[in-house]
Amino acid sequence: MATAPDVRRLPRFSRTERALHWVHASAFFVLLGSGLCLYLPSLAQLVGRRPLLKDIHVYTALAWLVALALVILAGDRRRLLADAREIEIFDDDDLGWLRRRGNPQGRFNAGQKINVIVTAALAFLFTLTGFFLWYGERNHAFRLQNALVVHDWLMYISFFLVLGHLYLSLVHRSTRHSLSGITRGWVREDWALKHHAKWAAQASPDD
């Protein structure tokens, strides 16, 4: 959509933040797709090549972890650290927002802060259970009885979390302009003032 020349833009996500998001998102969808083919008998039958799917799943997991590490090592770590500090603090406005009192929000609202924390916890637990599934086949001392059940439950939780995330970022009229931030790096100042008033008040425009 064309933006009127007098609309002010606020820089929202740096290249590093966007790279981290899209590496994580793309690997997630491949892992979800290949995982579902391993999980659902109908899909497994349709594809019919379980060993290949398992390889795709495990190598994507490995590539995902390496790519995340590379983005962190080569990217703007100071910025990521500042994000982490911001996300771990819940102030009175965040608590008010969660109670639907409409308090002004900083760069991330309280729901987004929770989304980041849950997403990071899920990534860690997927990696842990995935490792036991993979290595447990090779060394029986690492075979954990419930690793597969936990891995499946993590898939259910992340599936519905991402569904909600996609609704807010692609469909919901009032929030979907956020897509501009995670693709082009900037958002309109009027949108920012409405959704992230405390952040917009102190952010400086792009141009």
Name the residues that contact ligand HEM, by CB under 6 A: 12, 21, 24-25, 28, 31-32, 35-36, 38-39, 54, 57-58, 61, 112, 115-116, 119, 126-127, 130-131, 133-134, 148, 151-152, 155, 158, 162, 165-166, 169-170, 178-179, 181-182
Nearer to ligand HEM, 96 or 155 (CB): 155
Nearer to ligand HEM, 96 or 177 (CB): 177
Task: In angstroms, give the least distance from the CB of 25 to ligand HEM.
Answer: 4
Task: In angstroms, give the least distance from the CB of 101 to ligand HEM.
Answer: 20
SS3 letters for the chain?
A: CCCCCCCCEEECCCHHHHHHHHHHHHHHHHHHHHHHHHHCHHHHHHHCCHHHHHHHHHHHHHHHHHHHHHHHHHCCHHHHHHHHHHHHCCCHHHHHHHCCCCCCCCCCCHHHHHHHHHHHHHHHHHHHHHHHHHHHHHCHHHCCCCHHHHHHHHHHHHHHHHHHHHHHHHHCCCCCCHHHHHHCCEEEHHHHHHHCHHHHHHCCCCC
Residue of closest CB approach to ligand HEM:
130
Nearer to ligand HEM, 91 or 152 (CB): 152
